[in-house]
Copies of this chain bind each other. A is one copy, B any other.
Amino acid sequence: MECLNQAGLMEGSECGGRGVCGKCVVRVLAGSFADIKDKEQYKRFCKEDEVLACNCTVTGDATIEVGYGRDDISRKVHLPRLTEQVGTIETSVSKVYIEMTPPNLHDQLSDIERVLAKLPAKTRFSPSILRDLPSKLRKADFKVTCTLFEGELIAIEAGDTTKACYGCIIDIGTTTVAMYLVDLLTGAVIDARGLANPQRVYGADVLSRITVGSTPEGLAKMQALIRQGVKGVMHVMSAANNISDENVYQAVVVGNTSMSHFFLGVDPSNLAVAPFVPCYRQSVTLKADRVGLPMNPEGYVHVLANISGYVGSDTIGVAMATKPWEKKGITIAVDIGTNGEIILGYKGWVLACSAAAGPAFEGAHIEQGMRAGEGAIERVSLKDNKVTLGVIGDTAPQGICGSGLIDIVAELITAGLITRRGSFVTEKDEGFNQPLASRMRTGANGIREFVLAYTGEYGNTKDIVLTQKDVRELQLAKAAIAAGIEILLKEAGFTTDNVDRCYLAGAFGNYLDKEKAVVLGLFPGIPKEKIIAIGNAAAEGAGLCLISAAQRKMSDRIARFVKPVELSTHPDFNDKWIHCLNFPKITRQ
């Protein structure tokens, strides 16, 4: 696990390395490992050729296969051409090719002045570019490409490299980190990748990570984990596209307030205790070498502004991507991740809140939950009294991902197998008298469950089930989102009837069946016509700030302008939340 962490390849862990969650299974291709714990303990999680990364020791060369969900983001998430949003590219980075006359005894201008003479007046420069400038200029025969960042000369490269100009979007989710490589000349997204947030080894939830990060050593560890992870993916992404790290000049980072604190190595401890005060909210701009990312060391990394201790820069990203203040009527945007960030905009104002949905939508805390990778059930149909599964990669099902979970529960509700209160039907209930009810049973641990696939039914090696507990997890999650939406509307003096559009952000949204969301009451009272999936809007907003200095400045203004609504202390929240735990009444067609 330590090796995987250092390499930025640790996919996930929910138990913090105690060997009980089974999320860090890796396949051993060559070599072997010394197991610390008894092999018996592993049986629950590991096949013959697998080990738990958290509980085995590297004793020599070995080759392993990782990648649970590793290709998730690249498969599922794509950003629209960012240029369509901003119209014209107006990046902070520009490159210009220049040719100079070499010095002679009558022209003893210093090297850097010779360069600056070809650039706009008052161009500043980073002192470190001086270091090897003399030999660089002479080797390049005084023909070089200069990279400027808002009036500062940050790089000098031999020859004409004007075409190689890249930036990176880094969207740090509590569960998943999504990264995008962007061509700064065209605004095109060249590559997109994701990794499980390496901090997950210290717990799936933000609070346990803040606890770890409350000591200087713990904070350093948490910062190193996320930075190492980002570093690894960023470098892999550049390399895969034959791009030199040196030609990546700018990065924009978004994440919830805690993740931003971790990324910057800022003490997050007060985010966990009343009065829940962040250390900072403003956007922060750093030289790349201070962050240690694989990019031009003189480039810049921008961490966008937070709105409050619980509403972070990822929400600013969503706001920038949706810009509700520019739209007619009332706009809601919901970004479903470990927390559900919700914004409500109406002309001159924007409200925002964060609903603690928990990781159920990401397949975590679900008995057979998994991330949306190969083998995950993402679609379920119960039509004609038959279970039909849609599995990612058209392979044998291994578990259930977030969108699959919603599909299953919605289908079970529609079929009458789950009540409005979220209970599996029993003999007493009407719905129990149908063939599919035969798939319901009481599991080994006394919890009722619905069998989606019996062993062998779809080539699966074990029964795939949805438990009553899973349904409860989903209820908790969806109630948090729904109550958040209702509170924001109430704060604004509106009801759900007034909503003109409801954007659903996040990778998740692209794969959510809107009809099913309506069945669950995820967006209470909002008809499916008004629900629009917009993909990873947080990253898209960050992307706008990457390719446009004006958009980045706007994001700073927006951060001061959005009013955060604190749900946990809101007097109406608890009532709303309890009310939303139930599923809506079904209007049978």
* Residues of chain A having any CB pair with chain B under 8 Å: 103-105, 107-113, 127-128, 130-135, 216, 264-267, 269-270, 274-282, 284-286, 290, 306, 308-309, 566, 569
Contacts and interface: CB of A to CB of B under 8 A. Distances in A.
**Residue with the greatest number of chain B CB neighbours at <10 A, chosen from A107, A135, A276:** A135
Given A108-B308, A269-B135, A277 B130 contact: no
A276 to B, nearest CB: 6
Contact of A277 (B109, B131, B135): B109
16 contacts: A104-B275, A108-B276, A108-B566, A110-B279, A110-B280, A112-B280, A112-B281, A127-B290, A128-B290, A130-B266, A131-B266, A132-B216, A134-B267, A134-B277, A134-B279, A135-B267
Nearest to A106: B275
A566 B107 CA distance: 12
Main secondary structure of the interface of A (DSSP, over half): loop
B269 A134 contact: yes
Identify the 5 closest CB pairs spanning chains A and B, nearest first: A112-B280, A130-B266, A134-B267, A110-B278, A105-B275
Given A105-B569, A108-B275, 15 more contacts: A105-B275, A108-B308, A112-B280, A112-B282, A113-B282, A127-B285, A128-B290, A130-B264, A130-B267, A131-B264, A131-B266, A132-B216, A132-B267, A134-B266, A134-B267
Contacts of A216: 132
B279 A112 contact: yes
A266 B135 CA distance: 11
A105 to B, nearest CB: 5
A533 B183 CA distance: 62
Q: Which of A110, A133, A265, A308 has the most CB of B within 10 A?
A: A110
Contacts of A132: 216, 267
A110 B277 contact: yes
A208 to B, nearest CB: 19
Given A131-B265, A266-B133, A270-B134, A111 B278 contact: yes
Contacts of A103: 275, 277
Nearest to A215: B135
Contacts of A281: 110, 112-113
A279 B111 contact: yes
A579 B279 CA distance: 71
A80 to B, nearest CB: 31
Contact of A279 (B130, B278, B290, B566): B130
Nearest to A566: B108
A258 to B, nearest CB: 13
Contacts of A135: 267, 269
A107 B275 contact: yes
B277 A111 contact: yes
A51 B524 CA distance: 88
Nearest to A114: B277
Contacts of A133: 266-267, 279-280
Contacts of A269: 134-135
Given A132-B216, A569-B105, A127 B286 contact: yes
A199 to B, nearest CB: 18
Nearest to A103: B277
B110 A284 contact: no
